[in-house]
Chains A and B, each alone.
Chain A
């Protein structure tokens, strides 16, 4: 009796048509949806993006106009639910508008370094030899300086301002980006499938475009996302030191600096820009982790 059931089971299993596996991006999406942490931080990041880019929709105050009468109100004041800063400007409004510059000053340097560093790294890794050595040793020179010192030095050299802080951070991020993409490219180019591609008549340019880029892009993108979290802290740090955005513009690092003097009067209000920096940086970090896990086809069987 049990033998018969077993047999029919075996037969039906063998005959059952197997479901076609989903495409790559679809399966990445499915894995991301299943990952609760990544989904939570993604929602949080979306919320932050919404309040910064859609600042006029969530607040009706002007971020640059304050009143002496409403200076340094605590959190929960009617009309100013997150309190006010030292010149009486609504802090919620300042945080929303301030996020625009903070995110711009953090994401743009990473994007620049992704393009420049990725290009140089793939070139160094694929060409190897003299070209590779020249690029990599030049990058090593930058490693001799601690990143924050290098950023401060470049900013000091170029003068303060938003664009200069972006340039400074881009220069700081290019060397590690080159190193990461060079390493991945070197690994990829020594694998048999690159030789197999050459053996099937693929030209060098096509190999780089089709095989190397596809294998390298994942790791570099993940690294870039994790760099954003560092970039947020560094760019806020530069503004805090007065080397980035100039007052009266709203920017989280700068706000932290000006509220510093009020830390004994309204400590919770003064901590808010710092909280925003911390939360945003953390979210990018966790998201890059989640994306890396979801994108690696070999980790997920």
Chain B
């Protein structure tokens, strides 16, 4: 690797302990992200994608136990005091959300909200901040930006709101953008616009993006690398091409073959039987074993080793080698 990564995560673990239940939401996640690179965390609901992002931002409630190490631009950020963390949030790292309607304050105009963030981080006066807000709206390609600046969130369409949300997140030129399913609540036609916009902004600003989604199509469109998450673990990682073309983990294979696309005409749609495991009582061994059609005895005991291929892709599966060859 030529440069130091902007974001490096090592053994990130999140536990929710309440009364007698101990929910293992994230179980040791590792990744590193270079500037200008997009990593997609792909997984179904409840696999720990969003929790991982919130753990990175320090947004989890106090009863969540977060351990591991996170370096942002070489600085260790996990366990920083609240004031230091507040400076980083929105500055070096910011976040966009799934529901732009809920993530924007209904009583302020778009311009006021963006300006507020800028004033907060840079301490400039309101007039300058408003001018910057106008520039940001133009950057995210909102038509007649000057007028939109004075709009309330409810006066805009879903796609426009998400653009405004992105403008808000970009207000202080973050080096890492965390995107929590930003296209899930949008129409497909708007989805692709937002994805293209994110790619273009990434090229202009050189930021790294962690993109969380359950949509295989969106993941294929935006990512450089994909990490497939299941039960709080990365079960497979690799470049987009590696994961999409040669999935090694049975879960990834199931996920891909249960996605509808044009190339599947005439074939029966496959589904993954069963449902995700209860995170409060994870089975020993591979968490996917109960649903896996290739499961062997070795899958149900001990730690599952992570297999790395010559090309750098990894899979947490006992039979990864056979799968790759098949």
Give chain A's interface residues, CB within 8 Å of chain B: 18, 20-21, 23-24, 191-193, 195-203, 206, 210-211, 214-215, 218, 297-298, 301
Contacts and interface: CB of A to CB of B under 8 A. Distances in A.
A148 B56 CA distance: 54
A200 B94 contact: yes
A200 B168 CA distance: 8
Given A20-B146, A202-B86, A297-B152, 9 more contacts: A193-B104, A196-B97, A196-B103, A196-B104, A198-B57, A200-B120, A200-B168, A201-B89, A201-B90
B166 to A, nearest CB: 12
A201 B88 contact: yes
B interface residue count range (under 10 / 10 to 19 / 20 to 34 / 35 or more): 35 or more
Interface in B110-135: 116-117, 120-121
A26 to B, nearest CB: 11
Residue from A18, A191, A301 with most neighbouring chain B CB atoms (10 Å): A191
Contact of A21 (B88, B105, B147): B147
A3 B121 CA distance: 54
Contacts of B59: 195, 198-199
A16 to B, nearest CB: 11
B116 A210 contact: yes
B86 A201 contact: yes
B81 to A, nearest CB: 12
B43 interface: no
B151 interface: yes
B75 interface: no
Nearest to A190: B102
Contacts of B83: 203
Contacts of B121: 201
Nearest to B169: A200
Contacts of A210: 116
Contact of A201 (B87, B106, B147): B87
Contacts of B210: none
Nearest to A212: B105
B102 A200 contact: no
30 contacts: A18-B147, A20-B150, A24-B152, A192-B99, A192-B102, A193-B102, A193-B103, A193-B104, A193-B105, A195-B97, A195-B103, A196-B97, A196-B104, A196-B165, A198-B59, A199-B57, A199-B90, A200-B89, A200-B95, A200-B168, A200-B169, A200-B171, A201-B86, A201-B121, A203-B83, A203-B86, A211-B105, A214-B107, A297-B152, A301-B155
Given A193-B103, A196-B97, A297-B107, A20 B147 contact: yes
Contacts of A24: 107, 109, 152
B305 to A, nearest CB: 36
A39 B152 CA distance: 26
A22 to B, nearest CB: 8
Contacts of B87: 201
B107 A200 contact: no
Given A21-B155, A201-B87, A201-B88, A192 B106 contact: no
B120 A215 contact: no
Given A196-B103, A200-B89, A214-B105, A21 B116 contact: no
Given A200-B94, A201-B121, A191 B150 contact: no
A21 B150 CA distance: 7
Contact of A298 (B90, B104, B106, B171): B106
A171 B1 CA distance: 68
Contacts of A21: 147, 150-151, 155
Nearest to B165: A196
Nearest to B100: A192
Contacts of B102: 191-193
B179 to A, nearest CB: 12
Contacts of B116: 210
A198 B90 CA distance: 9
